[in-house]
Amino acid sequence: MPIKIPNDLPAFNTLEKERIFVIPNDRAQHQDIRALKIAILNLMPDKISTETQLLRLLSNTPLHVDIDLVQMGSHTSKNTSQEHMLAFYQTFSEVRQNRYDGLIITGAPIEQLEFEDVDYWDELCEVMEWSKTNVFSSIHICWGAQAALHYHYGVPKYPLKAKMFGNFKHHINVPESLILKGFGDVFHCPHSRHTEVRHEDIERIGALSILAESDEAGVQLVSDSSERMFFQFGHWEYDRETLAKEYYRDKNKGLDIALPYNYFPDNDPEKKPIFNWSCSANLLYSNWLNYCVYQRTPYDLGELEPLVIKP
């Protein structure tokens, strides 16, 4: 089944060229089917790249998925044109009356700021509170995951001595988790962040479970006890070249940036980067849509049960 997006969204042509089944809004209106309604709150600076990456992963199931792209009304994007934002995004105030099967809150390169110093923090807190009554299942990514754990459970974040940057091996702690169904014992995933949450802080909260982690990169995937909220600290959505682009961007700015770990063959940035996380990325998002959303969400979203945050 297809993923439904506007046919003039830049990601449409990219995904169609990759032979990913996308369907324009006008055609979808003639189909009598209950699509999954997924909202993406995109906090990343390069909106178009992040849209494309996430839509690629969400399209890899037989399910019909209807996407709403959401932005913070209290923040003006500086890296994506206002024409694009006006054409394809709604503010949170415009969608807050809606109900969704799923919500994705992306990361943002602001993890060195205190949460309360982020200009849209108050509005993001409204989104996270709203998600407990208006969303069945949520995935929070990187800084978005740190923000959500802080808001819902009071989990702190800590500065790192050096940027966690590279392609890291992870192991599974809870193989019976629905979102990890079909995973092997180990998988790879990129990380790119200056702060961390710590195993011991999460372990103290009985309602949270650390599903997967890395000896080098730390906690990777956490869920609440209902498996309706997920917090991931790597970037499964990244393309092959994303870390390379970040590396060259920071190097060209004169920043003290190390080569991304376990990414360029022989640590040679002239060589094609290793891309060994795409299978686990596709499987994770397929599992989320199928097992954690489609098979559990009510057909009538008006019957959505509120999510109770347990200590």
Catalytic residues: 142, 235, 237
Calculate helix-pair angle for 10-17, 47-58, nearest 10 degrees.
Answer: 50
Phi, psi of 139 (to 5 degrees): -115, 130
| Burial classification of residue 42, based on how many CB atoms lie within 10 Å of its CB (0-12 exposed, 13-18 middle, 19 or more buried) | buried
Provide the 3-class DSSP secondary structure of residue 24. Answer: coil
Query: How many CB atoms neighbour CB 261 within 10 A?
Result: 17
Distance CA 134, CA 43 (A): 20
Distance CA 247, CA 292 (A): 35
Distance CA 171, CA 286 (A): 19
Please state the separation of Cα 46 from the chain's center in Å.
Answer: 14
Distance CA 187, CA 170 (A): 5
CA atoms within 13 A on the CB side of 162: 10
Closest alpha carbon to 311 in 110, 152, 151, 191: 152
Q: Please say whether the beta carbons of 77 and 47 come within 8 A.
A: yes
In angstroms, the Cα distances linking 153 to 112, 142, 180, 301 are 20, 16, 23, 26
First-to-final CA distance of the chain: 39
